[in-house]
Structure 1
């Protein structure tokens, strides 16, 4: 038996250089002996009203299917669904089983076709909950989009035979319709724990840093308070910047401080080395609805490199709080003080061992194997 997977994704595979949960899944799938082809299906900006659906081969077992954003607006129309479906299955073997796997609640109309041997929804975000609101017109527009997203998500949940959620918060949201299995985000433990190279040598120590997408969901006012409270600490932000509105202004104010260092996106293979170079890893998130659901990828990555972590605005992580390992702060004052304390005990060997021990229990390989095995369980030959 061979299985073709049709992964519904929110953006092109290499859109921002970051690796998310869906990327790890695909990497695992293409290595699996029972996988035929993995199709990565996503919208993209064309700059025109181009109505074509384009395909490109990413690897021997993987094909990216791009759909113009304009065309995606009409995803519920029969003509669109028929043309998309025809495009998707054109190269798929008739003998292969077909799994429709949603990593984002788009193209819900595809669930109505009878060709799928299984439909799966892996919910890893609080879809339909915005990071930031603008003026009244933007608020109205965002509200309409949020309702469309939630409606599409409900349809997908109803049609899915198997549902995963990256946090208990998300599973609870879904539970009104169907039960979801909680599988939190993890870490490539061997890759992160074995890193010995160090970067950032030109930046003075101690170094407190965040590595990831520089987005609107990050609390830049919190970081401003940290930077001004301890001007001798170096605050390092590493990642591609996609901020907008008030968040972009707050970030610009933060970057003007002499002890703040902003580094653009780095190659993913270098992330462990950059993390290893920090004294403390931080998760400085805003206290907003969206972040209540976040299972941060960076928590176990930081810990795997042996450094302590301080978080804010991430209630899903409170259960991992432990002395010398992780502190989840409830106030700005607590966050600043927790960073100071974590620097003081950063290099203590007993804590380093404990941090790595916690991270090892959350290796991606085990989590993804569980998801794939559960998927294959009920697919009959």
Structure 2
């Protein structure tokens, strides 16, 4: 096998929600390749919306950090000009700026002809930014033109079609995205999301309740992902060695009959009305929400049995999921979510937990193992049924389904496709 240097343009921060890009890059590093992960850019307007970015990203723009010695590095890109999702000319200027930063860092690392693996349509202009890319991969995991905010859908679609045509390999995480990409790339390969099965299977022990949490035997304090130690902690600073896995996390609510859980970004794609309906229906249910809040959640904050726990390190997520009696995937049904293949569903299944989901096209094939429902009344009723009917047999069935969808298998399929045109990965 030839060692390949890979520049990954991520759609989420390396230390953000641990998802497809980080999972694949970690496994590529385990196979011997070297990874430079580029966090998504912020613009000069970003601190107006989120003051935290002044401290967390503004001062460190352009910084190169070694995450795993000799294997993985993280680059914070330069600050971008705003409105690059609305004007192709501005995107081109930003990508040239990023190209200059990358050329400097690639020289520092001694990388001469890297592979580009990108998740952002704007990378179309990075292909002309003075870097000799050995191979270009576009991994399409979102309908970018359907996002809200400072985006012109026509401009975004134009950039994405340009990138898809010029890439050497194109992947799609959902059938709707595959159909969309086929207009530009008939050879697009469908590669759905997956779970880190072994990691979340740790949550399959006895669930906690208001009285505490029983100890799960056979657990390790030090974890690996595909042989790369501690990289799961890239989502935060807490090391497994400092954390007793059998403990119930201290910030989980106590004194409730059941804990219903959600893990993920809470944006305008999440149906907060469904969550509120569940919390109002049963005051003895605690609703625990883990992840960054990026939309108006005033109605939920007003409910005493709803708890916003914020971001958590990836390493400790199984400890929270173990305490959930039911796990939720409450996406709104709209243009954006029609192409969502939710990672969280795979992770919940790997933990053996009952899963209640709205009727996303990508989730429907998992029914009835995943309970799919529409409307607040059905949503609440499905949670009630899950409490009453859960069993060890159903838990085993969920975990067996999850084992069919591992990140290692997904990466192998992608590398097989890349190997058809290159032959060295």
Using structure 1 for the length normalisation, give the TM-score: 0.85
In 2, distance between residues paired with 1:123 and 1:358? 24
Please give the residue correspondences for 1:1-381 in structure 2 after superposition, counting only pairs within 5 Å.
1-14=2-15, 17-33=16-32, 35-40=33-38, 42-45=40-43, 53-60=62-69, 61-65=71-75, 66-70=77-81, 73=84, 74-77=90-93, 80=97, 83-84=100-101, 86-87=103-104, 89-91=106-108, 93=110, 97-112=113-128, 115-131=132-148, 142=150, 144=152, 146-178=153-185, 179-195=187-203, 196=216, 197=246, 198-199=248-249, 200=252, 202-243=254-295, 248=296, 251-322=297-368, 325-346=369-390, 348-379=391-422
Secondary structure in 2 matching 1:67: coil
SS at match of 2:81: helix
How far off is 1:286 after superposition? Answer: 1.1
3-state SS, counterpart of residue 267 of structure 2: coil
Give distance in 2, aligned partners of 1:302 and 1:331: 22
Secondary structure in 1 matching 2:362 = helix
Q: Is the 8 A contact 2:8 2:35 kept in 1?
A: no
Cα distance per residue 1:65-109 (max 9 Å; x no partner): 312122894442496476356335423546x65211111212312
TM-score after normalising by structure 2: 0.76
Unaligned stretches of 5+ in structure 1? 132-140
Would the aligned equivalents of 1:276 and 1:306 in 2 still touch at CA under 8 Å?
no
Secondary structure of residue in 1 paired with 2:363: helix
Deviation at 1:294, TM superposition (A): 0.7
CA contact (8 A) 2:83 2:150 kept: no
| Contact 1:281-1:308 at 8 Å conserved across structures | yes
Q: Which 5+ residue runs of structure 2 have no aligned equivalent?
A: 48-53, 85-89, 204-215, 217-245
Inter-partner Cα distance in structure 1 for 2:341 and 2:320: 21
What's the offset of the Cα at 1:12? 3.7
